[in-house]
Amino acid sequence: MVLEKSGYELTLDVLGKSDVNALVGVVDQALQEPDEKFRRRTAEFLAKIPDAGVTRLLLRRFHDIGTTAQGALVASPDTLLEAASQLSAVDDTHVRANVVEALAALGDARAVPLMLKYVDDPAAPVRDRARALLHTVSRRQQGAPTAAGTKARTYVRTALNLVLRGREITDEGLTTIVSLGDEGFQLLVPFLSEKGADGADKIIDFLTRAPGIDVVRCLFYLAAVRPEHPRRVARDILKSRPEGAFLLDVARVVAEKGVTALGPLAATLRHLHWQVLTREDLAQLEVEAQRAVLELVRGSIGSTSERVERLVPLLASPSSDIRAETLQSLAELPTKRIFAHVVPLLADPVDVIALKATALIDVHEHFEAFGLLLKQLGHRCEHVREEAAKKLSGRTFFLLSRKWEGLGPEHKRRAARALMRIDPQFRRQLEAEVDSGDGIRVLRALGMIRQVEDLAPFAAMLANLTLFPDPFVRATGARLVGRLSGREAVRTCELLLGDQDPRVLANSIESLSAAGGPSAAPLLRVFLEHWHPRVRATAIVELWRLGFTDVAGSLREMLGHKDKRARASGRWAVEKLRALIGTPASAQADRGTAGEHAEEETHG
Amino acid sequence: MGDSLRGRRARVRRATRSLWHELCRAHGLTFLERRALVRAARGAGYATPVALFFKPSVLTNYVRAERDRLSRAAAERLTRLAKILFADCRETGSLAEGPLGDDGLPHRFAPDELGQLVMNERALAPV
């Protein structure tokens, strides 16, 4: 036979199927009933419901709910501790007293930090109860507490003893205390507040050498407490520990709290020895912590060189943002001594950083800077190239002249082309050099012009070189004219063909061939009869290049000439033609050509 | 956790309303009984009549306090409701203590009248 439920049992049955968490206000009415049995019956029912809101409700009425419900609550210590923690801020004295009661009933060492919140409670009953229960818990866990000292410190000693698991302050115990967080830290304050207090030296010694982020958190806590002595002790310890691992933990704690929330402690942290951090140390540090270090070092107190030293490790940060911001900070310092630290970042894989580093290179202070900037002119990023060119602008020719001989061909090419494009003064300075009349300077300028892609701006200047007294300069100019195009180039070549110097003539023949094409052939043929073999050989090669293979006879004649210089020039022409025709295999396929005959003659 | 205050209030309202309907249905309350509960809750200063399902002392206190203003039918109805809702709590003394006086009766009722109420079939055999 099934008995139907009725009365209050039926009400509880319906309640159990409802959203009890949302109904705690209604259910609380039942727990306030004057009838004790009724209250207990309701509480027993509620204690079976696994809900945080219901647990808090029962905890608030812990004293009134009866032993069965109390037992059910204590059987779930984690839930109870969480609910107690949430209720610790409640204003109601009755609730606080109930929470203390519940924590005492729990008898768990984890309840001690929570219970410590109530030992200074404004309500005397709560305070007294908390202290008494703390002693009870302590005795239960530890035996008789050490009750020496003032009454006000007794509870602290008791709790400390409880946590330390012993009668003395040991490293192990202090490690446990600092791992408790703020509740543990506050235990240390009374000891440190009185100079010469029992155990103060041991605590200071522990905080001075113990590793771990909890110690750092403890020092941060102590450095902000009201009593002056612990505050000073904590700040001194923070400033006196130069270990990299300690600083990494400091950075992490600063990142947790936020630099702006540090208040007066920020000034202390700026004194730390951030310069001891190595690249490997920083690699272990989270980006946020690195940013915290950067913020602290930025505003750090000390000489400029000290601040540079503190910033430099951050240049090796794996985070490109940190590297960029560090570079920016270095740039803002009034010092020129950052060159050596910035140089490695010129080749940074992140273009923005390479750009910032390039911007920091001072070409006037360091001779090496110029070479580095020239190298940056060949950087893959256009902005970096522009920045390098901007730094070089105005002094480019002067600086390039000083470094020119030491540069490789590729760098010469890149530098000259970039400067021509970016620095308008560069061309004017080159022209001025050519106009100087000094052979060495002119030749160096021509060497730079040779690297430039488009020689059109220099056409008039090259034409003027036909009258230069030094034949070597004229010859160099004649070679460059070949890279010009149009009638002006042909005209300049024609002028140069009136030169007496064979080198000038040879180069002019090559240039005319390039600029004039087949129409220049009649003029070139004149030089097949020139007295100088080099000129003849050059004419043969250029005519061949233009498609006039009938010059084979002239070549054969040269190769069989009685003058050894003529034969040497003939062989040179053969080599040039061989290169012109292509590989030896293709040359063989092209039998009957002048090249083949010439080769035979050479061997003969 | 994470509920906004407005969301939490709406949830409480929904849950309270739902519980009210469920409880009325479970206890088989008629329209007049429901209305009597609502009026009693309002008169006793409760925001919701659901609270009366969890407060055995309120109904009897209310009947006693308002005996001069309540009609006979209303008083009977409320007394009957108290018996229905807390039928299994009698031994706890909730209904015996206080409100109805030492003899457990409202002062306006004669003992025989109360006896009739107690013997009401609905009180003895709840739906």
How confident is the model over A108-162, as pLDDT tens digits? 666 766 776 776 677 777 777 776 666 665 555 444 333 333 443 455 555 555 5
Can you list the positions of beta strands (E) in A324-392? Answer: none
**Across residues A506-511, what is the average pLDDT?**
88
The distance in angstroms from the start CA to the end CA of chain A is 133
Residues of B with CB under 8 A from a CB of A: 8, 11-12, 14-16, 18-19, 22-23, 26-27, 48, 50-51, 53-57, 84-89, 92-94, 97, 126
Q: Is B93 left (phi over 0), alpha (psi -120 to 50) or beta?
A: left
Q: Check residue A333 and give left, alpha or beta (phi > 0: left; psi -120 to 50: alpha).
A: beta
Contact A33 B56 (CB under 8 A): yes
In whole angstroms, give the CA distance from residue A363 to residue A598.
Answer: 56
How many residues would you count in chain B? 127
A460 CA to centre of own chain:
51
Cβ proximity of A99 and A89 under 8 Å: no
CB-nearest to B15 from A4, A9, A22 is: A22
Tokens representing A266 are 């920020």
- Smallest Cβ–Cβ distance between A18 and the set B22, B54, B87 belongs to B22
Q: Determine contact: A14 vs chain B, CB below 8 A.
A: yes
Q: Each residue of A544-583: pLDDT tens digit?
A: 888 888 888 888 888 888 888 889 999 999 988 888 777 4
Q: Which candidate, A215, A107, A121, places its Cα nearest to that of A162?
A: A107
Chain A positions touching B26 (Cβ under 8 A) are 10-11, 13-14
Q: What is the pLDDT of residue A242?
A: 77
- List the alpha helices (DSSP H) in A117-197: 124-142, 151-164, 171-179, 182-193
Interface touch B18/A37, C-beta < 8 Å: no
Q: What is the pLDDT of residue A196?
A: 62
* Residue in chain B lying closest to A5 (CA): B126
Determine how many CB atoms are found less than 10 A away from the CB of residue A485.
14
Residue B108 has pLDDT above 50, yes or no: no
- Contact: A7, B126; criterion CB under 8 Å: yes
Q: Which of A142-146, A356-360, A389-393 has the lowest mean pLDDT?
A: A142-146
Residues whose CB is less than 8 angstroms from the CB of residue A171 and which lie 6 or more positions away in sequence, other chains included: A206, A210
CA of B30 vs chain A CAs: smallest distance (Å): 16
A15 CA to chain B: closest CA distance, Å?
Answer: 7
Determine the Cα–Cα distance for residues B59 and B2; give it in Å rounded to an integer: 37
Closest CA to A551 of A565, A537, A561, A563: A537
Nearest CA in chain A to B84: A7
Nearest CA to A218 out of A201, A235, A198 is that of A235
Contact yes or no for B51 and A29 at CB 8 A: yes
Nearest to B95 by CA among B103, B106, B104: B104
In angstroms, rounded to a whole number, what is the distance separating the alpha carbons of residues A112 and A129? 13
User: CB under 8 Å to A560, separation ≥6 — which residues?
Assistant: A567, A601
Q: In chain B, how long is the greatest CA-to-CA distance?
A: 57
Count of other CB atoms within 10 angstroms of residue A367? 11
Q: Which residue has the higher pLDDT, A560 or A589?
A: A560
Q: What is the mean pLDDT of residues A204-212?
A: 86
Give me the amino acid identity at A67.
T
Query: If you average pLDDT over residues A461-474, what whole number do you get?
Result: 82
pLDDT of residue A161: 54
Taking residues A263-288, report their average pLDDT.
Answer: 76
Question: Can you give the pLDDT at residue A462?
Answer: 80
Enter the ipTM.
Answer: 0.71
What pLDDT score was predicted for residue A576?
Answer: 86
Q: Does pLDDT of A396 surpass 70?
A: no
Residue A95's pLDDT is what?
Answer: 84
Which of B22, B37, B54 is the best substitution to test chain A (most A C-beta atoms within 10 A)?
B54
| pLDDT at site A33 | 83
pLDDT band at A48 (very low <50, low <70, confident <90, very high): confident
Q: Do residues A74 and A102 make contact, with C-beta atoms less than 8 angstroms apart? A: yes
Q: Which residues of B touch A17 (CB under 8 A)?
A: 22
Residues A31 and A61 sit within 8 Å (Cβ to Cβ): yes
- Reduce the DSSP state of residue A271 to 3 states and report it: coil
Please give the model's pTM, rounded to 2 decimal places: 0.38
Is residue B97's pLDDT more than 60?
no
**Confidence bin at A604 (pLDDT 50/70/90):** very low
Q: What pLDDT was estimated at residue A137? A: 59
- Chain A residues whose CB is inside 8 A of the B92 CB are 35, 37-38, 41
| Reported confidence tier of residue A169, pLDDT bands at 50, 70, 90 | low
Out of A22, A33, A38, the one facing B11 most closely (by C-beta) is A22
Length of chain A: 604
Q: Give the separation between CA A24 and CA A208, rounded to whole angstroms.
A: 50
Residue linked to tokens 């207090």 = A197
Residue B15 with chain A: CB contacts under 8 Å: 18-19, 22-23
